[in-house]
Amino acid sequence: MTFTQSRIFQILDKGDKTDKTSLACDYFLSILIFLNLLAVCLESISSLGETYQRQFFMFEMFSVLVFAVEYLLRIWSMAADEKNRYADASRRRASYIFSFHGIVDLAAILPSILPYFFPGTDLRWLRVLRLLRLLKISHYSTALEDLFSAIYQERQSFVAALYLMAIALFLSSSMMYLAEYEAQPENFQSIPHTMWWSIITLTTVGYGDVSPVTGIGKIVGAFTALMGVCAVALLTGIVASAFSNQMARREAIFEAEVNAAMADGVITEDEADHIEDLRGRFKITEQHAKAIFDNIAEQQEFDEIIEEKANRTSED
């Protein structure tokens, strides 16, 4: 491992406030990603796509070059990742290549390269695939990771809510099919076909393109709408609760680490670095972290006073 390799890894990794070069790299790549999304959307407008075809092409080539260099540098510098569970450089690189981030980084490049190998490829599909570059933001934001982690922690409740949603879907589809088939055979021609109406109604979207006309159908539709409100509220509440519980767990872990570091009255440099890294990963603000430090310090002072009084009482 060389210094250059380690420094490249630090620059490409999510930067902190003290590393201006890494922060500048993060901002540059993030802005480039959003500009790519804007370019893909504008290019789909026929008048703009034809008028500025050359400009869009030049910008796409520049973006692909930057993303390709970034991808290769990430593979090369991954050997300097000391937090990786593998000690061997080749395994560290392989772990990145086959990771979510590695696959997304590769997918950001492929849509612009594939036409050279497959000339007949539909450009509309390739344009849509370029929108996957939005997922590259996950290098600098843990939003997706937080969402999946929160849902995983509450997976039993989430699966139970989905099960209730599935019951409501099949029940409402079957009942509506029986109620409306004779009156509207073109709109409710089968149970799977009726599921479109059920999903739209259960999710409280209600496009209005298909609606019941019979009395029984309207009653089924009313109950379906009520079930949808309950099901959506249940799923939303589970996700919101999962996020809240996740933050509470992180704060508890952070507080326990701070408490352990302050137990001997002195926080070493390694302990301070570990706590700061934990604070950054858990997205705990500096003000909140300071409040936790102050509360623990006050609690320790209180415990010392109580212990001192207890010792005096025992001596008397």
pLDDT tens per residue across span 132-164: 888 888 877 777 777 888 888 888 988 998 898
Average pLDDT, the chain: 84
Report whether 176 contacts 221 (CB < 8 A).
yes
* Range of weakest confidence among 28-32, 201-205, 300-304: 300-304
pLDDT of the residue at 1: 46
Structural domains of the chain sorted by starting position, each given as residue range(s) with its CATH number in brackets: 3-140 (1.20.120.350), 163-231 (1.10.287.70)
For residues 52-56, give the mean pLDDT: 91
Average pLDDT on 209-233 reads: 90
Asked if pLDDT for residue 298 goes beyond 50, the answer is yes
80-94, 183-197, 265-279, 295-309: which has the highest mean pLDDT?
183-197
- 64-119 per-position pLDDT tens digit: 999 999 999 999 999 888 878 888 889 999 999 999 889 989 988 888 887 777 77
Check residue 15 and give its pLDDT: 67
Q: Which pLDDT belongs to residue 117?
A: 75
Residue 172 has pLDDT above 70, yes or no: yes
pLDDT of 257 reads 85
